[in-house]
Amino acid sequence: MQFTAAVTHEGGWYVARALEVEVTSQGRTVDEALANLREALELYFEDETMPEVVEPPIIATVQLSA
């Protein structure tokens, strides 16, 4: 199963969020944050039913005038 992750830099941490489900993790590097997110997703789906189909999120930018 493939999920989409958004990674942001917050303070000294990289925060990785799975966009299809409410699962988030963090790490000192992008790779560490994604590895931790993978582990968090595995733990999450130990108690939740894995969806048969995951519809990819729509990713778009929104521009505001200055």
**pLDDT at residue 14 tops 90:** yes
What is the reported pTM?
Answer: 0.87
Per-residue HEC secondary structure of 36-65 comes to HHHHHHHHHHHHCCCCCCCCCCCCCCCCCC
Phi-psi category of residue 21: left, alpha or beta, with phi > 0 → left and psi -120 to 50 → alpha:
beta
Q: Which residues contact 56 (CB under 8 A, 6 or more apart)?
A: 4, 20
**pLDDT at residue 51 tops 90:** no
- 1-66 architecture in CATH? 2-Layer Sandwich (3.30)
Report the pLDDT value the prediction gives residue 44, as an integer from 0 to 100.
Answer: 96
